[in-house]
Structure 1
Amino acid sequence: MKKMKKIKLLVALTLIVGLLTACGSNNKATETANAGDKKVYRTLDEIKESGKIVVGVFSDKNPFGYVDENGKYQGYDIWLGDRLAKDLGVEVEYVSTEAANRAKFLETGKVDLILANFTVTDERKEVVDFALPYMKVALGVVSPDKALIKDPEELKGKTLIVAKGTTADTYFTKNYPDVKLQKYDQYTEAYNALLDGRGDAFSTDNTEVLAWAIKNPGFTVGIESLGDIDTIAPAVSKGNETLLNWLNEEIKSLGKENFFHEGYEKTLKPVYGDSVDADKIVVEGEEI
C-alpha cells in the first residue's frame, strides 16, 4: 500500500510540474508576442535626446550613396542626410544597407531613417512610411555597345542582371517572365557581373545606369526610361509619425531654398555633366 501511495504521489507531482512548465511556456510565448508588438523605432524627441540619428544608405551606389577612398560616405543621399542631422541638431551615423534590406532595417529598428535611393511603391507603403520625395526616377537598361539592348523585347531569352529587392527586379519579374534574371545583393557585384560578361544587360534606376555608363566606355544605356516615372523619398518605420511629420516640413523648407538643385550641382552634375537635365531628376519639396 505504501508503495502504491508513493507511486500516486510521484504521478501527482509530475502532473503539477508539467502544468507549471506549460504555464511558464505560455507566459514566455505571450511575452514574446507582446515584445513583437512593441515599437522598435525612436521618436523625434528620443532621437534629439540621444544626440544622434542613424541613417541607412548605400555604400556602393555612386553618385547617390558610396564610400570614397578615405572611407567617408559621399553622394546625393549623403548630402541630404548631413543637412537633416544638422537641422535636427544631432550627429549622423550612416549604416550601409543593401536594396533588399532597406525595409527590414526600419522594421527591426536598426536605423531611424532610410536614404538609400528608396523608390516609393504601393507594396513598400504597407511596411514603411515615406516622406515627401526628393527625386524622380524610372528604370534604365545598360548593356555592351557590341550587343546594345534598345528594347525590353530584345531581352527575351537573354540574361538580365538586377539587384535583389529593387524595382527592376519586381518590374521584369511581373512584365517579362521570359527574361532570365540574375540577381545580386550588392550593386558592385551586379556591375562586375556585367563587366565580366556574365549577363547581357543590367537594369536599375536610370539615374544610376546613366552615371555608370559615362564612367565605363564600351557600355551604353540603350533604354533610358522604362516603366512608370516613380519618386524616391526618405522612409521611416511604420507609425513613426513624429519623425515623418518633421521630415515633411523639413523637405518643404529645403525646397524653398532650392536645396535639392544645389545638391544636384555638388554631387550629380560632376558625373552627368550636361547630358542630363536636373529638372528631370530633382524634386524640390513637393508631392508629384
Structure 2
Amino acid sequence: MSHTRPWKRLGATVGVLALGFTLAACGSDSDSDSDGGKPTGIFADAPVADEADIPEGSIMAEIKERGELVVAAALDAPLLSQQDPTNPDKVEGFDITLAKLLATYIIGEPEVKIVPPASETREALLQNGTVDVVFNTYTITEERAEQINFAGPYFLSGLAVATKTGSDIEGIDDLAGKKVIAGANTPAVEAVPELVPDAELITFGTDPQAIAALLQGRGDAYVQDYLLLATQAASNPDLEVAGDPFTEEPYGIGLPPKDQQFKDFVNDWLLKIQEGGQWAQAFEDSIGEAVGGEAPNPPEIGSVPGS
C-alpha cells in the first residue's frame, strides 16, 4: 500500500497523569449522539469483531467483559485528542476517534476510559496493565518495541521546529548554539544532539510545559512532532512552526508487551477501518477540518522497524 506524507499537505495553514473517566462516543456532534444505545455516525457502520476473533482468556475477551477500552490518550492535543473545557465528557480528535472505533470493534459500542499519560509513562502504563492501548502520537522505534508491542503504523508525521512568532529561526539548521526544548522520552531527545551537537537541550515532561517554557523565553525553539506543533500554532498567535519537518515519524498504537495475539487482532482491525473508510472519515472530521482536502493514504501496516 502506498502512502503520502500528511505533513506535506499541512503547510502553514495550521501554522499530568490524571484519573481516567468514561466517555461517550466522540468526533463530530453527529458522531457522538446515540439512538437507544446504538452507535451512530462514524460508529454506526464500523466493523465489529466476530465472536471467533475474541477467544476466551484473551485481552480482547477481558475488554469486552469489562465493557470499556482503557486508553492512554491526551486531553490537550487539538485535532487529535482534545477535551472540551465546557463539557469534560466530550473529547474530540483523530486519535480518540480511532480509539473509539477499536472499542466498537471489540465491544460493539464506542466506550472508552481515558488515562492521560506523560511521554515517559506510556511504556509503564502498558507494562503494568493500567491501560489496554496507547493512542498518543506514539512514534514507533525499535528501542520502544523492545519494551512494548506496536500495531500500525497508522499515521506519519515528523519532527519540526517551533519558535515564538517573529523569530529569525527558520528550521533545524538554525539551532546551532541555541537553547532547544524537547519533550522527555520523545525522538527529539536523540535527533537534536545528532543533528545539532552544540545546541543546549532542555527537556520537559509534557507538551503544555514545553510550549509554556518556549513562550516564556526559557528556550529559543521547541522540537516536537510537526502535527502537534502545527495544531498548537493554529490556536496560539505567539507560536509558529519554522520550516518543514526534518524527519519522518510513524505513529503506532501502543500495546502490552509479549501479546502477539492482541497485536495481530489490532492490526486486522486497523486494516478493516482503512478499507471500510472509517480511518479516512476520522481524519477528515478532525485534522482534515484544519488542513482541508481529502485524507492521505494511510501508511502500510508493519512497514517500519518495530512495527
- Indicate conservation of the 8 Å contact 2:150/2:253, yes or no: yes
Tell me which residue corresponds to 1:77: 95
- Equivalent pairs counted in the alignment come to 243
Tell me which residue corresponds to 1:103: 123
In the TM superposition, what is the alpha-carbon distance from 1:166 to its structure 2 partner?
0.9
Q: Deviations over 1:59-88 (max 9, x none)?
A: 222221222211132221101011111121
Q: Distance in 2 between matches of 1:100 and 1:61?
A: 17
Tell me which residue corresponds to 2:68: 52
- Indicate conservation of the 8 Å contact 2:157/2:227, yes or no: yes
| Alignment counterpart, residue 221 of structure 1, candidates 235, 241, 250 | 241
| Alignment counterpart, residue 260 of structure 1, candidates 249, 257, 279 | 279
- Indicate conservation of the 8 Å contact 1:211/1:272, yes or no: no
In the TM superposition, what is the alpha-carbon distance from 1:249 to its structure 2 partner?
0.6
- Indicate conservation of the 8 Å contact 1:252/1:284, yes or no: no
Taking a change above 3 Å as real, the CA distance of residues 260 and 199 of structure 1, as seen in their structure-2 partners, is same
- Greater relative contact order: 1 or 2 (C-alpha under 8 angstroms, separation 6 or more)? 2
Residue 235 of structure 1 aligns to a residue whose secondary structure is strand
In the TM superposition, what is the alpha-carbon distance from 1:218 to its structure 2 partner?
4.2
Residue 117 of structure 1 aligns to a residue whose secondary structure is strand
Q: Percent identity?
A: 26
- Answering whether residue 200 of structure 2 is matched by residue 185 of structure 1, we say no
Q: Distance in 1 between matches of 2:302 and 2:163?
A: 33
- Indicate conservation of the 8 Å contact 1:138/1:206, yes or no: yes
Q: Distance in 2 between matches of 1:110 and 1:209?
A: 28
- Indicate conservation of the 8 Å contact 1:142/1:219, yes or no: yes
Taking a change above 3 Å as real, the CA distance of residues 144 and 273 of structure 1, as seen in their structure-2 partners, is farther
- Answering whether residue 197 of structure 2 is matched by residue 208 of structure 1, we say no
In the TM superposition, what is the alpha-carbon distance from 1:260 to its structure 2 partner?
1.9
The residue type paired with residue 95 of structure 2 is D
Q: Distance in 2 between matches of 1:42 and 1:173?
A: 42
Q: Distance in 2 between matches of 1:265 and 1:112?
A: 26
Gaps of 5+ in 1: 1-40
CA RMSD of aligned residues (A): 2.1
| Alignment counterpart, residue 256 of structure 2, candidates 237, 241, 248 | 237
Q: Distance in 2 between matches of 1:154 and 1:112?
A: 41
Tell me which residue corresponds to 1:18: none
Worse overlay, 102-111 or 83-92: 83-92
- Indicate conservation of the 8 Å contact 2:80/2:92, yes or no: yes
Q: Distance in 2 between matches of 1:103 and 1:215?
A: 30
- Answering whether residue 163 of structure 2 is matched by residue 147 of structure 1, we say no
Q: Distance in 2 between matches of 1:42 and 1:66?
A: 31
The residue type paired with residue 214 of structure 1 is A
The residue type paired with residue 78 of structure 2 is N
In the TM superposition, what is the alpha-carbon distance from 1:285 to its structure 2 partner?
6.3
Q: Distance in 1 between matches of 2:121 and 2:243?
A: 27
In the TM superposition, what is the alpha-carbon distance from 1:161 to its structure 2 partner?
1.4
Q: Distance in 2 between matches of 1:184 and 1:66?
A: 20
In the TM superposition, what is the alpha-carbon distance from 1:148 to its structure 2 partner?
3.1
- Answering whether residue 305 of structure 2 is matched by residue 272 of structure 1, we say no
